[in-house]
Structure 1
Amino acid sequence: MGGVRGRATLLASLPLLLAACTEAPPVVLGGPGVLDRPRALAARDGIVAVVDTSGSLRRLTADGAPAGSHPVMPPGARRGYPLGVLLREDGSATVVHTHDSALVHYARDGRETGRFGDGGVKDGQFCMPQRALRRGEEWIVSEFGYEECRRVQVFDAAGRFLRRIGGPGTDAVFERPMGMALDAAGVLWVADASHFLLRFDYGYILDRRPGEPRPAIL
């Protein structure tokens, strides 16, 4: 647990380092005056999107040049900043508002174009959502808060609840489900920061892999 927290703290306090699997030097994105304690990261089509504690979503090119920014903290938001962001094919972004229990969609120019979710422990509600993925017409959201909310929920494209993985009455036992990734076959991998790396196929556990938790690469 301490190691995971240590790595999270390090990520939040340093510029982002992107390195290819070659001998080329890494590209440093951000730094003082560009990023303020980054908390969420996504990359697509040569653009890196970062949500930091300025309350903004900042876009950077692959070589670190600014490519636009806009606020993502809604008026009257409670304390805390988003922990997840996802870039879409059309350049829009979806931000996981962890402390406001919602997924919010933003156009490329920063206009809010939609949202779903509200706070609570029932199916379809959010309690500290962490990350979000898109698989076809489905949204997949990880969360942990109260014991009932240590789960992954699946919604349709409009935000209607479909099913959940984990939580009371299921075989999937999560402690801190955080990182998620989809492999080439569409199978969902979940990095549980206090448990194992778990692999699921539409809600069925395929295996559990013990060992040091690894962050998912989105």
Structure 2
Amino acid sequence: MEKVSIIIPTFNQFSYLPACIDHCLFQTYPCLEIIIVDGGSTDDTKAYLKGLMHEIATRSCEPIQEMDEKGKIVRKSIKVYPTNRTVEILTFENDIGATCTYNEGLKRATGTYCTYIVGDDLPHPHMIEELVTALEANKADFVYSDMNVVDDKGRIIRQMLLPDYNFKSCFAIWYHLGVSHLYKTKWHKSVGLMDEAYQSANDYDHYLRFAMAGAKFYHVPKI
């Protein structure tokens, strides 16, 4: 099973970040490297991240396990978080900019496959598993799927149904390509990391460089 690197860049997203990280930690795909990069937040992000590793290592619960022969409930303490993930946290004191925040994570990725999920996004629990399956089954270099845009109450306000890949359509629609994508990390050697001259549309530029370098794309038509 190949390792997947998930980069979580964040800046002043404390209200959303814990849920984003939990959605990554509880992915059904087990072989994960999660790299969280705080690009100089001024809200409560740093305090939260400071205690996160301890929380992951020690948080437990005592669900009902069984009853003994006398009918007494026997509880056993189990860890809440999966144990087969690696987590790395980087924090910067000052605002380093969005693109640099992405790159600080991307250049540390050691997985065969890589993705980035911004701190206010929520990946579906099966997202990584399904993208890995699609990438391998179709011998692709880069896979992507559709997504929902939701408000702060979780209500769907827009569905982003993306087209199957062709070189021309990517120029018109790929600025919508969001959280649900996965690619082979080795392509960093061909296309580089994100261009730090961009403070917006940095991911769009990155995707286009994959296309121009001849990467094979595959669209997973589901949310």
Normalising by structure 1, we get a TM-score of 0.26
Looking at secondary structure, tell me which structure has more strand per residue: 1
* Larger CA Rg, structure 1 vs 2: 2
